Structure formats: C-alpha cells, structure tokens
Amino acid sequence: MRILVTGGTGYIGSHTVLTLLEAGHDVVVVDNLSNSSEEALRRVGELAGREAAFVRADITDEAALDAAFAEHAPEAVIHFAGLKAVGESVTIPLDYYFNNVAGTIALLRTMERHAVRTIVFSSSATVYGEHNPTPYVEKMEIGAMNPYGRTKEQIEDILTDLGASDPAWRIALLRYFNPVGAHPSGRIGEDPQGIPNNLVPFIAQVAVGRREKLMVFGGDYDTPDGTCLRDYIHVMDLAEGHAAALHYLQGHDGVHRWNLGSGHGTSVLQMHAAFEKAVGSPIPYEIAPRRAGDLPAFWADPSAALADLGWSTTRTVEAMCEDHWRWQKNNPMGYALSLEAGEEPQARPSMSPHPAPYRIDVTAGDPPSLEQALNRAVEAAIAQALMEGTRGVLVTRRSPCTYTVELSRIVPFGTTLERDESVQGR
Ligand code: NAD
Ligand code: UFG
C-alpha cells in the first residue's frame, strides 16, 4: 500500500514509518521539520534497507499538499503532524489551533480532492480530561483540560462529522497513552528540543549527564508510593498499533476509536527505578512540588484494540527503559551528533536546505559535570553548524549553572571559542 505519513520524521512517526517499510508498504513522509530532523528518516532507511520518500512541507499549505498527493498518489494517510507541548499550548493557543486544527482541515480537504478517504489520526489520552474514572474506555464522554488537548478533541469531532457525512471515509482515532522507548537498534528515538517536558526523556538526560537530577513532581498523591501513575507504552508497540489500525480500515468503513495503552499504571518512582536498572548506576532525584494540571493516576482499558485489531502491547517497562537508554547513550545529543564506538564529531552532508532551529539547554550542579555537559553540547552544535554550512555557535550563560548552546546566523563560526571563556567565567 502507498501511505502518506504526516509528521513522519518525528518521534512516533519515524518508528511507525520503519514498521510500515518493514511490512512492505511504500511511504511518503510530509513534515515541516519544525520539531524533528531529516536524519531520523535517513536512519529509518538504513534500518529498513529501503527509503521512504520525503516532502518538506507544512500541512497548513494546501498547494504543497496537493503537489505531494499528485506526485505520490497515496491510498491512505497516517496523520502525526502537530504541536504537542501542553504548557506551550496555554501560552500560544492560536498557534496550536492553527497548526493542529487548521492543518488537519487542510489535509482532509486535500484528501477529498484526491479521493483518499482512509486516515489514522494521533489522538491522546488527554482527551479523557479529569472527570472520568480510570481505566479509560473509548465510550466515555471526553473533555480535555488545556488547548493542546482541545485541539485533539476538536479534530476527533471534525473527523467524526466527516465520517458521518460520507460512508466512503474510513477513520481511526488512536488515543495514545504515554509513549516511551526507542527502536532496539538505538539508531532512532525521541529527540526533544530544549528541556524535556516528559518523564522518561528527562530521566535519560540526567543519566547521560545533560541534567543534574530528576525532579519528581509530587510525592504525596493518594497512590501506593505517593507519585503519579501513568500507562507507559513502548513506541514500537505503538507503531505496530498503527499498522493494525490501517489493516482494519481495509475492511471497515466509518469512524473507530481505540485506546493504545498497556492497561497498567506505573509510578514515577517505579519508572525511575527501572531506568536506573537499565543504566546500571544511580540517577539522582528529588521530590518536588506537584506540577499544575497533573492527574494522580490514569491508564487505558485496551480491550477494544485487542478485540477489534488483535493488537496488545508486548514490551515491558524494562524493555522501554533499556531501549530508551541505548538510544540516549549512543546519541547523547540526539540526532545532532552520534557518539558511537568512539566516533569523533564530524560534519555530515546537509540533507536539508532549511534545517530546524537548534538549541540545547545545559544545566548541572557541580563544575566538572557542567563543563563536561557544556563541552558535549558545544561539540554537538559545532557538528550541526558544519553540517549546515554557514552558521555559528553561540553559548549564553543563563545562570551560574545553566547555559544555552544554539546555532546563530549572526555570530561568526569562530565565536565557538567563547565557550572556554564562558566555562571559566562561571
Ligand atoms: P514529534 O514532535 O516528535 O512529531 C511531530 C512531527 O510533526 C514533527 O516531526 C514536526 O516537525 C511535525 N509537524 C508539526 N507541525 C507540522 C506542520 N504544520 N506541518 C508539517 N509537519 C509538522 O511528536 P510525537 O511525539 O512523535 O507525536 C506525534 C503525534 O502524536 C502528535 O500529533 C502528538 O500530539 C501525538 N501524541 C503524542 C504523545 C506523546 O507523548 N509523544 C502522546 C499522545 C499523542
Ligand atoms: N514527571 C516528573 N518529573 C518530570 C517530568 C514528569 O515527576 O520531570 C511526572 C509527571 O508529574 C507525571 C509523570 O511524570 O506524573 C508523567 O509525566 P509526562 O509529562 O511524561 O506525561 P503526562 O502523563 O503528563 O502527559 C503525556 C503527554 C501528553 C499526553 C499524555 C497522555 O505529555 O501530551 O501523556 O497521553 F496527553
């Protein structure tokens, strides 16, 4: 089958593209690279032994989508593209509604014009809001609590209305729980920009020396160990869930909703302990105040996905941590720089004329680990700057133990020497 994947260079998208290529499908990825790197797709091609086509385009741009549909003639769409940071969505809601909701409408209008009426959509457990008891079941009344969640809810409504308007539409709404982990090769994984919002990427960056310690948000919840429970799902299980949903839609029209989760809650401290086991050494943490908006505990009732799709999770929390750690250890700075088998930082041929913005925040408590972390961040930035040809690297001291390392169009390349002054001037 020919499948167009929006957001296919992102975290979940890249793992799903790999699963689709391995299953024999032809894939074209449409992504604007606003939160990802084309390097992910290059590695997916390496792992699969064949390439996905890539179109750099924004899903709000119908002319660009028309051209991609005309050239690649997809038969179905998997739609990952979207902005996803809950906190940011509260600050810039219009960007979220425009990118996620207007972007989806543009995509659906394009699909209609090209008579492509099969779509799998990335929804989220966040649509269940705060009023539902756990475990969450698909038939529950939804009601998200923040602009990001409401974009998911509104897109679900739009797709439900569309499905009701014309029986030719085949629509899967997949409500993901908490995706973590990476492909077991350690070649692709989650590469958050800036300070990670989510638990496991944060733990992984502490483990690799980029952050000083994990702050556990709340130790006084009414849960067995006082920390929040979530339903973590291995990203490869999630990727396989998409292939299963697409397969189901071959034989069924209408609109379908499935939770993709394991059905089990794991606490923050349990996740921290599992990650320590994968790493083989202690990972510092501290109990901090609760984070606004966090629910104490929720997990999926995944029985509908099992009954309809024959899909359920097969990978354990231990496997999630081992795989996530392999990716983080081999790629301490994500796709910017891979440090495998003593590999030195080196330039790679630029794959994209307009690379994504690049920025790393470095925080550490004591001088040796700060210096180490800063040096790694600067090396990664230099490698990225070389890859892109013309930019410089700027190091800014934000506080005694926080620095930002970013690419700069203004500062000449040689300004990277400043890093030593910055470290000494600490
Ligand atoms: P991601 O940021 O890694 O991937 C999203 C991709 O979409 C990125 O490659 C980004 O460049 C691209 N993109 C964003 N806006 C675009 C636009 N206007 N045009 C073209 N490309 C655009 O995120 P992810 O974690 O892989 O999430 C994928 C989807 O799953 C998102 O829709 C997200 O909301 C949803 N989801 C994620 C989680 C999670 O915890 N990761 C949980 C539930 C749902
Ligand atoms: N946590 C910490 N410290 C951190 C980060 C997180 O203690 O540095 C805690 C949180 O307080 C929460 C748990 O770890 O108790 C999980 O937090 P995440 O941010 O990893 O995940 P959430 O469940 O809050 O939210 C995620 C996505 C949402 C999505 C939701 C359900 O960020 O977009 O899962 O799929 F909607």
**273 alpha carbon – ligand 2 mean position (Å):** 17
DSSP H helix total and E strand total for the chain: 14, 16
Give the range among 17-26, 66-75, 324-333 with minimum mean pLDDT: 324-333
pLDDT at 401 over 90: no
Instruction: Pick the more confident residue, 411 or 101.
Output: 101
β-bridge mates for residue 5, sequence order = 29, 78
Tokens of 279: 């790493």
Q: Which residues line ligand 2 (CB under 6 A)?
A: 84, 86, 124-126, 176-178, 197-199, 202, 214-217, 228, 230, 268, 291, 294
The pLDDT value recorded for residue 302 is 98
Q: Is 176 a catalytic residue?
A: no
The pLDDT value recorded for residue 388 is 60
Active-site residue identified among 96, 148, 232, 403: 148
Residue 217 CA: nearest ligand 2 atom is 7
150-195 pLDDT, tens digit each: 999 999 999 999 999 999 999 999 999 999 999 999 999 999 988 8
Helix-, strand-, coil-residue percentages of the chain, each rounded to 5 = 40, 20, 40
DSSP for 294-334, please give it. Answer: --SB--B--HHHHHHH-------HHHHHHHHHHHHHH-TTG
**114 alpha carbon – ligand 2 mean position (Å):** 38
What structural domains does the chain harbor?
2-183+233-264+296-314 (3.40.50.720), 337-424 (no CATH)
**33 alpha carbon – ligand 2 mean position (Å):** 24
Pocket test for ligand 1, best of 122, 188, 257 (most atoms within 8 A of CB): 122
pLDDT at 223 over 90: yes
The pLDDT value recorded for residue 83 is 97
**413 alpha carbon – ligand 2 mean position (Å):** 38
The distance from CA 407 to its chain's CA centroid, rounded to whole angstroms, is 22
In Å, the largest CA–CA distance within the chain is: 67
Q: How far apart are CA 123 and CA 333, in angstroms?
A: 28
**135 alpha carbon – ligand 2 mean position (Å):** 17
Q: What angle do CA 267, 272, 274 make, to 5 degrees?
A: 95
Q: Is 34 in the pocket of ligand 1 (CB under 6 A)?
A: yes
Give the range among 99-113, 214-228, 324-338, 410-424 with minimum mean pLDDT: 410-424
Among protein residues, the one with the nearest Cα to ligand 2's atom 27 is 178
β-bridge mates for residue 75, sequence order = none
Give the CA count within 13 Å in the CB-facing half-sphere of 210.
Answer: 26
Q: Is 261 in the pocket of ligand 1 (CB under 6 A)?
A: no
Among protein residues, the one with the nearest Cα to ligand 1's atom 30 is 122
Q: How far apart are CA 184 and CA 194, in angstroms?
A: 24
Average pLDDT over every residue of 91-117: 98
Is residue 260 within 8 Å of residue 175, measured between CB atoms? yes
**82 alpha carbon – ligand 1 mean position (Å):** 4
Among protein residues, the one with the nearest Cα to ligand 1's atom 34 is 84
The pLDDT value recorded for residue 423 is 31
122-133 pLDDT, tens digit each: 999 999 999 999
Q: How far is CA 198 from CA 190, 195, 265, 284, 297, in A?
A: 11, 9, 16, 17, 15
DSSP for 202-214, please give it. Answer: HHHHHHTTSSS-E
The pLDDT value recorded for residue 108 is 98
- For residue 188, give the ligand nearest its CA: 1
pLDDT at 218 over 50: yes
Percent of the chain with pLDDT over 90: 76
The pLDDT value recorded for residue 385 is 67
Q: Is 13 in the pocket of ligand 1 (CB under 6 A)?
A: yes
Average pLDDT over every residue of 71-89: 97
Q: Is 193 in the pocket of ligand 1 (CB under 6 A)?
A: no
344-391 pLDDT, tens digit each: 433 333 333 334 456 777 777 666 677 777 777 777 777 666 666 545
Among protein residues, the one with the nearest Cα to ligand 1's atom 22 is 81
Pocket test for ligand 2, best of 176, 178, 220 (most atoms within 8 A of CB): 178
Q: Is 80 in the pocket of ligand 1 (CB under 6 A)?
A: yes
Nearest residue to 266 (alpha-carbon basis) of 220, 312, 231: 231
The pLDDT value recorded for residue 78 is 99
Tokens of 194: 């800036």
Pocket test for ligand 1, best of 28, 34, 128, 152 (most atoms within 8 A of CB): 34
Residues shown for the chain: 426
Q: How far apart are CA 293 and CA 295, in angstroms?
A: 6
Q: Is 11 in the pocket of ligand 1 (CB under 6 A)?
A: yes
pLDDT at 418 over 60: no
Residue 216 CA: nearest ligand 2 atom is 7
Confidence of residue 412 (pLDDT cuts 50, 70, 90): very low
Mean pLDDT of the chain: 89
Residue 228 CA: nearest ligand 2 atom is 15
**81 alpha carbon – ligand 1 mean position (Å):** 5
Residue 102 burial class via C-beta count within 10 angstroms: exposed 0-12, middle 13-18, buried 19 and up:
middle
Percent of the chain with pLDDT over 70: 87
**84 alpha carbon – ligand 1 mean position (Å):** 6
